[in-house]
Amino acid sequence: MAGTAQAPLRVALLGYGLAGRVFHAPLIAATPGLRLHAVVTRNPERRQQVRHDHPDARLVDDADLLWRTPDAVDLVVVATPNRQHVPMARAAVAAGLPVVVDKPLAPSSAQGRELVDEAARRGVPVTVFQNRRWDGDFLTARRLVEQGELGRVTRFESRFERWRPAIKPGWRELGDPDEAGGALFDLGAHLVDQAVQLFGPVSHVYAEVDRRRPGAQVDDDAFVALTHAGGVRSHLWMGAVTPQLGPRLRVLGDRAGYTTYGLDPQEAALREGGRPGTRGWGEVTPERYGQLGVDGDLRPVPTEPGRYQSFYQQVAAALRDGRPMPVDPVDAVNTVALIELAHRSSVEGAVLPVPPPAR
């Protein structure tokens, strides 16, 4: 049952690990018209953390309890390990509950497509948490491209690089394909989505995907080249073994380029307990502004404030007013399909054509 203007929409959050605790719970709590009603976790330490962070939220041991009483909540958010994304989302859809799924949507495009098709048949809204669409540097680059400041864009370079040479325990490091671990599924899901958002459908994929750390079961160093149907080439780097970081974004056109360094500050702020709506949220200082122009004639361009809060604001508007969800789940299916092609390209050492995207 959807909430009324007087009663906020009741949100059930599945999982309180990194995604649930750092991203989803704070953003839900900061969104007018939404209320974090329940958190599903059995982990004693995480349950204690929920009590501290969100004392009004109900603690639930098992998601099955939600499916038995679907009228008790209005929205389900799946922030579990990747292997559980599809089973949990399908259970929510079967219960008639709108659902947000953390990225990546699924370990395979086939599973993702089945989920999206089932939700469409049942008329249940589904969206995917591609929060990096609301990074400040990406929003700035998108504006510059759309305004023609760069001229005709020829090349897009984008990096999510880290220096984490030690393997940490956890499902993200497990080699089972159902875990959807590794740099391509973790970081690549953002980079591929951003590239397609900027420059449209992809015609060909080439990739180099490696395991550099001794004992690694999953890829930790990857390069992906996308040729867009419109002619732009996107070069994407991601990994955990980069001791010196390159530019976060570099967009090159026949009139000018735009280059920026450093990550959007919103994730770090959320980790430290920050919330949208506070002074300076999502802003970067002038010394971190990107540079626009050509060498010898560069000028700083103020970075637009990042706004992860827009995602859940649009979710609330979709459920109350019938507006579109913030991310079409078909986009997320196509992103997983491109990641699959990247893995295959690396194995075959070949440039691969992209089949027509899911509709």
C-alpha to C-alpha distances, 65 to 60, 71, 172, 326, 329, nearest whole angstrom: 8, 12, 27, 28, 26
- Asked if 135 and 306 count as a contact pair (C-beta separation under 8 A), the reply is yes
Report the alpha-carbon distance of residue 328 to residue 99 in Å, rounded. Answer: 12
* Residue tagged 């506070």 (tokens): 278
Determine the average pLDDT of the residues in 1-22. Answer: 84
Q: E-assigned strands of 302-359?
A: 352-353
Query: Apex CA 88: angle with CA 86 and CA 93, to 5°?
Result: 90
Share of the chain above pLDDT 90, in %: 96
Residue 4: pLDDT band with limits 50, 70, 90: very low
Amino acid at 207: A
- Asked if 63 and 36 count as a contact pair (C-beta separation under 8 A), the reply is no
Q: Mean pLDDT over all residues of the chain?
A: 95
Q: E-assigned strands of the chain?
A: 9-14, 34-40, 58-60, 75-78, 99-102, 126-129, 153-161, 202-210, 221-228, 233-239, 249-253, 257-260, 290-294, 297-301, 352-353
Would you state the pLDDT for residue 359?
57
User: Does 3 score more than 90 pLDDT?
Assistant: no
Share of the chain above pLDDT 70, in %: 97
Determine the average pLDDT of the residues in 214-225. Answer: 96
Q: Which residues contact 358 (CB under 8 A, 6 or more apart)?
A: 109, 113, 116, 330, 333, 334, 337
Sheet holding 290-294, edge to edge: 297-301, 290-294, 257-260, 249-253, 153-161, 233-239, 221-228, 202-210, 352-353
- Asked if 238 and 162 count as a contact pair (C-beta separation under 8 A), the reply is no
Neighbour tally for 302: CB within 10 Å:
12
The backbone torsions φ and ψ at residue 277, rounded to the nearest 5 degrees and listed phi first, read 100, -20
Neighbour tally for 327: CB within 10 Å:
24
Residue 344: pLDDT band with limits 50, 70, 90: very high
Determine the average pLDDT of the residues in 42-61. Answer: 96
| Extents of the domains making up the chain | 9-129, 136-306+338-353
Indicate the CATH number for domain 136-306+338-353. 3.30.360.10
Write the pLDDT tens digit of every residue in 249-307. Answer: 999 999 999 999 999 999 999 999 999 989 999 999 999 999 999 999 999 999 999 99
- Asked if 251 and 156 count as a contact pair (C-beta separation under 8 A), the reply is yes
Would you state the pLDDT for residue 356?
79
Write the pLDDT tens digit of every residue in 105-139. Answer: 999 999 999 999 999 999 999 999 999 999 999 99
9-129 topology per CATH: Rossmann fold (3.40.50)
Helix (H, G, I), strand (E, B) or coil at 207: strand
User: Does 5 score more than 60 pLDDT?
Assistant: no
